[in-house]
Amino acid sequence: MKKILFFLSVLFVFTACYKDENPDGQLSDEFYLRHEGTDMPVWVRGNDDKETFIIFLHGGPLLSGVENAVYDHFDRLESDYAMVYYDQRGGGFTHGKRAVNLNEEQFVEDLEVLTKLIKNKYPQAKNLFLMGHSWGGYLATAFLKKGVNQVDFKGWIQLSGNHNFPLNWASSRLFGIDYAQNRIAENDPDKSVWEERLKALEDTPEITNIQELRVINYIGQIIDREVNAEKNQFSEPSLFYLLSSPVGTGKDQKDLELLEDLIVFGDQSPNMDRIVLPTLLVYGGKDAIVPKNLGQNAYDLIGTPEEDKKLVILEESGHDIWGIEVDAFFSTVKDFVEEYK
């Protein structure tokens, strides 16, 4: 593992860096973090008056965190806190050697460097929180288990977060089987299609490679869209935006095969009791991609005292946990941050 004590001089550069003000007077900084051959865009946006910064870890892997800023997914948080969005190496709008070092250790090191950068660049960032969505939950877990990384943070938030890929895929498969069986029993107009999907799930009893993983994930994505499409209060990215991304953000994950072992077999369960930070776990009752039992499993494994950890299930919500039960979601997150900042 490379030493990161000299990150200020050798591990990052600001490219097209500027500081401006949003129309409403809030902070808006955009720059690139350069580390180990990859330029990762960072966008710090929101209200820094409360000295509270939330580092957001996007899902995927190899998708985009900046996408969440562009589409105002967390504007309700930005009204009170400064949100730190960045695209992890290999995904989104990253540049340079995009496929270099696509492994868990490097993702964690990137986050360590970003954390030190935020602390150095923003002395007002006295209250740091970590918030991971889906794969971002796995990365957050790995990061917090390592060394003394917890000391910089007041708490962490899991949003439909994964920490155990084998358990995740097995749970998603069972969710899909149950959903397909119900559609077939109801004589759905697409009954024959769901019979084909059910067979595909039944023919994939184990997930041992990326091809089998794609079967489970593809059907989970279909279910998630069907369950949540009409209720989701946030719009899908435009075609122009998708085409402007180097990897087609949200649609195509280039170089995902390089992460096959990690996303098939990765499991943070061992030693999760090392994590003792205040913890908020938020999961969707209708999430077919990271089902809600992952939340209970994480709750049971972490070492945070009972009085400082909370599991919330939003029963009508899917994978984009912020999109349907909007008021309940944001009040839950804000209450947690206000309690522990």
User: pLDDT at residue 282 above 60?
Assistant: yes
Residue 49 has pLDDT above 70, yes or no: yes
* pLDDT tens for each residue of 105-152: 999 999 999 999 999 999 999 999 999 999 999 999 999 999 999 999
What is the predicted pLDDT for the residue at 15?
36
**pLDDT tens for residues 250-271?**
455 678 899 999 999 999 999 9
Average pLDDT, the chain: 89
Q: How confident is the model at residue 239 (pLDDT cuts 50, 70, 90)?
A: low
* pLDDT tens figures, 1-17: 544 444 433 334 433 33
What domains does the chain contain, in order, with CATH numbers? 9-164+269-340 (3.40.50.1820)
Neighbour-count burial for 294-320, b at 16+ CB within 10 Å, e otherwise:
bbebbbebbebeeeebbbeebeebbbb
Q: What is the average per-residue pLDDT within 65-78? A: 89
In terms of average pLDDT, the best of 28-37, 63-72, 233-242, 308-317 is 308-317
- Quote the pLDDT of residue 264: 97
What mean pLDDT do residues 63-89 have?
A: 91
Tens digits of per-residue pLDDT, 184-197?
999 989 999 999 99
Backbone angles phi, psi at 283, to 5 degrees: -135, 155
Supply the pLDDT for residue 8. Answer: 37
Q: What is the pLDDT of residue 6?
A: 40
Residue 21 in this model has a pLDDT that exceeds 80: no
Is 50 exceeded by the pLDDT of residue 20? no
End-to-end, the C-alpha distance of the chain in Å comes to: 31
Average pLDDT over residues 168-195: 95
Q: What is the pTM of this model?
A: 0.90
pLDDT class of 26 with cuts at 50, 70, 90: confident
pLDDT at 95 (0 to 100): 86
Per-residue confidence (pLDDT) for residue 1, from 0 to 100 = 52
